[in-house]
Structure formats: structure tokens, C-alpha cells
């Protein structure tokens, strides 16, 4: 198995497993697809930093011209440090703290995507205190069923995100009257890993109506942030939504409004650009099933245990025979399972396997559960590769805790 011009087998001679391996060319190609698809619109691609916030990934995207969609001070700091200019950074999230808002204001970010009335009041008060103005969009909740996993749908009335779209006009009127606030836009994001594009179209249509009705009330919207959420093919079924068709929906519903369009892709920018490489520790033949026990675990990649998410898994070297395995990690939880009854090349101890589609929501959601060290991360570009996050040592892991004086 190759990533660009480098073989995974060669990398595994130098880097301890499990490790994440990303392709810079795959990220560039995904960025290009977005850029081409949205070319007809005045648009800005704000990569959703939460999907993979490694500095090297952010710097790669910064060089391509991307902005950033952030949800914390830490993410804003990461984006700035990687070379993404403040005027390309948007800040979302339902729980922005005073400290975070102050930091974002001090940096002069492009806009706050506001999720509630008390947040709007807090931003206004802090902006006045700091003698500045906050540009804001209100994140509206269009009550559209995104047809994705319940844990990653965000645009339903029952979800904690955004303001009910029917109540938004009132909040816009209030926002326009507040000191320290400049109303610039509308924001919508209905969920993640959407395979069907219809919910996007439905949400865009509702946003278009809102923008027109706001205009009639004297509130001019300059920016429409359409969020992220486009799904990728994890290998379970063959369909993957087409970025061009997605952009067509945006053009059709929003193009006539003359606004700048911000799009916030995370998964579809980096998901298929990464694999998690792991070694087979044991092949354990149980009474009913054969377990392939890997050195990677749920603490490295939590998506299968958290969302029952499917990830295609392949042996790094081609195998002559097939076998069926439950593919698990070493963590002491039954949920530490990557796949059940999965057909795979027949493996033996020491073989390498690659868990595909691990570039998004992989390393960023990792933990040290079971006092396991982090999986290092590697970026490949052509023939070159570079370790972009080292595995920490056990000394560093232990040093994260401090003993109180009484012990
Ligand atoms: C506000 C917002 N924007 C963008 C994203 C990125 O989503 P995705 O990785 O599905 O493109 C998310 C995550 O769902 C989000 O909450
Ligand atoms: N972490 C989720 C996506 C969450 C999207 C963030 N709003 C996943 O792995 O699918």
C-alpha cells in the first residue's frame, strides 16, 4: 500500500505503530475540488479545524488559501499560528466564554457565528469594553432532518445549536440595535456526514427566505455561511456526494442574493487523506469468532465505538487468502472494536493493517485512556515524509499529573 510515492511498509520501519499517515496531495486535491466547485460565487473556504487541527495540516491548507472555522480559543490560536489570517477566521460554538470572546476580538477575526441571545449580549458588552466592534452572523437552526447519525445532526429543533429560524428576525433586530455589534451574516450548519444533498437544499432555501425578509426589514446580509457537513465514502456503500452538485444547490438557492458565501468543510477536506496504520499483535481464535487484535485502539480512533461508524480496513501487503475477523484493540472495553465479522486478507502476528478514512475526527478525538501513548502523525508529500506529531514518552505522560503537597 502506498501513500503518494512512499510505501506504508517503509514508513513502518521508521515510525512506531499505530501511526496516522496523511497525504498532502489528497488534501490539496480536496481543496481544489471545493475551490473549482464554488468558483462562480464570491466564496471563502473556511476549513473546519476540529476535523484535524495538526499544525502541518493547517499550514498546508493555509498555503492553499483556506480560512478557518473554529470553535475555541485553542483552535483560533492554532489557525493563526499556521498562517491563516484573522480576516479569514470564523468562530462558532454554543459556549463561547468571556475569555474566548475577548481573545477573538483582540485578534480581529472575520466574524462570530452567534448561537444564542445571551451570547449576543455578552459579545456586545465585551466589544464595547474593548472599544471595538464584533462582526456577527446568527446561526439559524432551520429544523431540517439531516438524515445522518443522531449524534452528529445539528439542525433539528431539538438540537442545542443555533436560533430557531422563525425567531431569528427578532434577534437580528435586537443585534442591529446593540452597541459593539455589526450584523454581517447568516450562518447555518445542519449536521455532519451527510450523504443525501436534499437536506442542504432545504436549509439553503429557508436561509434565502430569511435573507430576503431581513432585507425588507432594513437589515442587509453580506455573508451567508453554509457550514460544512458533506459526507465521504468510508467504504460501506459506494455513493459519495458530489461537491459540484452541492455547490450547485448553493448557487441555485443563494446565488441571486449577492452575498459572499462561506463554506466550512472538515471531513470532506481531510477524511480520505488519512489512514491509521496498525500492527497485528495477536490472532486469537475464540469459540465463535476469530479476533484480530491490533495495537491501535478506541483511544486512537473512537469513531467505530462512538458512532458505530464503518471504516474500510485493508492489509498493507496483499494477502493470498481471505478470512473473517472481529477487529479489535487492546483496551479493556468490549466497545474497543473497529469492525465485526469483517472479511480481510488472512493475517498473522506482525502484519500491518490500514484503517482508511481516518484523516478527520481521528487523532483530534484521541485520548490517553488505559495510559496509552498517542499515535504519532506523519505527513507525506511526494517522496518526502515528515513526522508532524511525535509520540510522547511515558515520562511526559506521567508528568501531566502533579501530586498535591499532602501526598
Ligand atoms: C459549525 C460547523 N461547521 C463545520 C463543521 C464541519 O463539518 P464536517 O466535518 O462534517 O464538514 C461542523 C461539524 O459538524 C460544525 O459544527
Ligand atoms: N466527530 C464526528 C463529527 C462531528 C462533527 C462536529 N460538529 C465524527 O467523527 O463523525
Q: With a cut of 80, say whether residue 281 has pLDDT above it.
A: yes
The sign of the torsion formed by the CA atoms of 256, 260, 264, 270 equals: positive
Evaluate whether 235 touches 187 at the Cβ level (below 8 Å). no
Tally of CB atoms within 10 A around 52: 29
Residue 71 alpha carbon, nearest atom of ligand 1: 1
Q: Taking 90 as the threshold, does the pLDDT of residue 151 lie above it? A: no
Pocket lining: 229 vs ligand 1, CB cutoff 6 Å: yes
78-92, 151-165, 331-345: lowest mean pLDDT where?
Answer: 151-165
The answer to the question of whether 307 is labelled as a binding residue is: yes
Give me the mean pLDDT over the 151-156 stretch: 71
- pLDDT for 399: 97
Q: What is the pLDDT of residues 208-239, one digit of tens each?
A: 999 999 999 999 999 999 999 999 999 987 78
- pLDDT score recorded for residue 81: 98
| pLDDT, average across residues 388-403 | 98
Closest ligand 1 atom to residue 92 Cα is: 1
- The residue whose CA has the least distance to atom 1 of ligand 2 is 361
Ligand 1 neighbourhood includes 303 CB (under 6 angstroms):
no
Q: Give pLDDT, residue 150.
A: 73
- Flag whether pLDDT at 29 surpasses 80: yes
pLDDT in tens, 35-79: 999 998 999 999 999 999 999 999 999 999 999 999 999 999 999
Residue 361 CA to ligand 2 center (angstroms) comes to: 6
Question: Quick one: pLDDT at residue 160?
Answer: 80
Q: Is the CB of 184 under 6 A from ligand 2?
A: no
Nearest CA to ligand 2 atom 9: 361
For residue 265 and ligand 1, the question of a CB distance below 6 A is answered with yes
Q: What is the pLDDT of residues 358-379, one digit of tens each?
A: 999 999 999 999 999 999 999 9
pLDDT above 80: residue 129: yes
Q: Which residue, by CA, sits nearest to atom 5 of ligand 1?
A: 228
CA-based Rg of the chain, rounded to a whole angstrom?
A: 23
In angstroms, what is the span from residue 152 Cα to ligand 2's centroid? Answer: 6
Which is the closest atom of ligand 1 to the Cα of 152?
A: 14
Proximal ligand: closest to the CA of 191: 1
Q: Name the pTM for this structure.
A: 0.97
Mean pLDDT over 239-249 rounds to 95
53, 267, 359: which to mutate for ligand 2, most atoms within 8 A of CB?
267
Query: Alpha-carbon distance 182 to 109, whole Å?
Result: 13
Determine how many CB atoms are found less than 10 A away from the CB of residue 256: 10
Domain regions of the chain by residue span? 92-265, 272-392
Higher pLDDT, 158 or 30: 30
> Average pLDDT over the chain, rounded to whole?
96
Give CA–CA dist 347/261, Å, rounded: 49
Ligand nearest to the CA of residue 305, numbered in listed order? 2
The arrangement of secondary structure in 92-265, i.e. its CATH architecture, is Alpha-Beta Barrel (3.20)
311 CB less than 6 Å from ligand 2? Answer: no
Please tell me if the CB atom of residue 231 comes closer than 6 angstroms to any atom of ligand 1.
Answer: no
Closest ligand 1 atom, residue 93 Cα: 1
Confirm or deny that 31 is annotated as ligand binding. Answer: no
199 known ligand binder:
no
Residues 6+ apart with CB under 8 A from 376: 15, 16, 19, 20, 387, 389, 390, 391
Q: How far apart are CA 155 and CA 133, in angstroms?
A: 28
Ligand 2 pocket check: which of 52, 75, 192 to mutate, most ligand atoms within 8 Å of Cβ? 192
End-to-end Cα spacing for the chain: 51
325 is known to lie in a ligand binding site: no
- Grid cell in block for residue 292: 484480530
Task: Specify the CATH superfamily of domain 272-392.
Answer: Lyase, Ornithine Decarboxylase; Chain A, domain 1 (2.40.37.10)
pLDDT of residue 121: 98
Q: What is the model's pLDDT at position 154?
A: 72
Separation in Å, CA 97 to CA 71, 72, 104, 398 = 11, 9, 11, 30
Q: Which of 264, 265, 259, 263 is nearest to 42 (CA)?
A: 259
| CA–centroid distance, residue 51 to ligand 1 (Å) | 8
pLDDT of residue 115: 95
Q: What ipTM describes this predicted complex?
A: 0.98
Q: Is 267 in the pocket of ligand 1 (CB under 6 A)?
A: yes
The response to whether 103 counts as a known ligand-binding position is: no
Q: What is the mean pLDDT of residues 99-121?
A: 98
Ligand 1 contact via 377 beta carbon (within 6 Å): no
**Does residue 227 line the site of ligand 1, with CB under 6 A?**
yes
Residue 139 CA: which ligand is closest? 1
- Residue 229 marked as a ligand binder: yes
Q: Which residues are catalytic?
A: 332
Residue 11 confidence (pLDDT): 98
Find out whether 265 is annotated in a ligand binding site: yes
pLDDT tens-digit profile of 285-327? 988 899 999 999 999 999 999 999 999 999 999 999 999 999 9
| Ligand 2 pocket check for 156: Cβ under 6 Å | no
Amino acid at each position: 500500500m502506498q501513500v503518494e510515492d512512499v510505501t506504508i511498509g517503509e514508513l513502518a520501519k521508521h515510525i512506531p505503530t499505530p501511526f496516522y499517515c496523511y497525504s498532502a496531495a489528497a488534501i490539496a486535491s480536496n481543496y481544489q475540488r471545493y475551490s473549482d466547485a464554488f468558483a462562480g460565487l464570491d466564496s471563502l473556504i473556511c476549513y473546519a479545524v476540529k476535523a484535524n487541527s495538526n499544525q502541518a495540516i493547517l499550514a498546508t491548507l493555509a498555503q492553499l488559501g483556506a480560512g478557518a472555522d473554529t470553535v475555541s480559543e485553542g483552535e483560533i490560536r492554532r489557525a493563526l499560528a499556521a498562517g491563516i489570517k484573522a480576516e479569514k477566521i470564523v468562530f462558532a460554538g454554543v459556549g463561547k466564554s468571556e475569555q474566548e470572546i475577548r481573545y477573538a476580538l483582540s485578534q480581529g477575526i472575520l466574524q462570530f457565528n452567534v448561537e444564542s441571545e445571551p451570547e449576543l449580549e455578552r459579545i456586545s458588552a465585551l466589544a464595547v469594553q474593548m472599544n471595538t466592534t464584533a462582526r456577527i452572523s446568527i446561526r439559524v437552526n432551520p429544523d431540517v432532518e439531516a438524515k445522518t447519525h443522531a449524534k452528529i445532526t445539528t439542525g433539528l429543533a431539538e438540537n442545542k445549536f443555533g436560533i430557531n429560524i422563525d425567531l431569528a428576525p427578532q434577534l437580528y433586530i435586537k443585534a442591529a440595535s446593540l452597541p459593539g455589534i455589526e450584523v454581517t451574516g447568516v450562518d447555518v450548519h445542519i449536521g455532519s456526514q451527510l450523504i443525501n444533498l436534499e437536506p442542504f437544499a432545504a436549509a439553503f432555501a429557508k436561509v434565502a427566505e430569511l435573507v430576503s425578509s431581513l432585507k425588507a426589514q432594513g437589515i442587509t446580509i453580506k455573508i451567508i455561511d453554509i457550514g460544512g457537513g458533506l459526507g465521504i465514502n468510508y467504504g460501506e456503500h459506494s455513493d459519495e456526494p458530489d461537491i459540484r452538485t452541492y455547490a450547485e444547490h448553493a448557487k441555485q438557492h443563494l446565488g441571486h442574493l449577492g452575498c459572499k458565501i462561506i463554506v466550512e468543510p472538515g471531513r470532506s477536506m481531510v477524511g480520505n487523506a488519512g489512514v491509521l496504520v496498525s500492527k497485528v499483535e495477536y490472532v486469537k481464535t475464540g469459540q465463535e469468532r476469530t479476533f484480530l487484535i491490533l495495537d491501535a485502539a478506541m483511544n486512537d480512533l473512537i469513531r467505530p465505538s462512538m458512532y458505530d461508524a464503518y471504516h474500510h480496513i485493508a492489509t498493507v501487503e496483499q494477502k493470498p487468502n481471505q478470512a473473517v475477523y472481529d477487529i479489535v484493540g487492546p483496551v479493556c472495553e468490549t466497545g474497543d472494536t473497529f469492525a465485526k465479522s469483517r472479511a480481510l486478507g488472512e493475517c498473522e502476528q506482525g502484519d500491518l493493517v490500514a484503517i482508511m478514512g481516518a484523516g478527520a475526527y481521528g487523532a483530534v478525538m484521541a485520548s490517553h485512556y488505559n495510559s496509552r501513548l498517542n499515535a504519532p502523525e506523519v505527513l507525506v508529500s511526494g517522496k518526502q515524509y515528515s513526522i508532524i506529531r511525535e509520540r510522547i514518552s511515558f515520562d511526559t505522560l506521567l508528568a501531566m499529573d502533579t501530586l498535591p503537597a499532602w501526598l
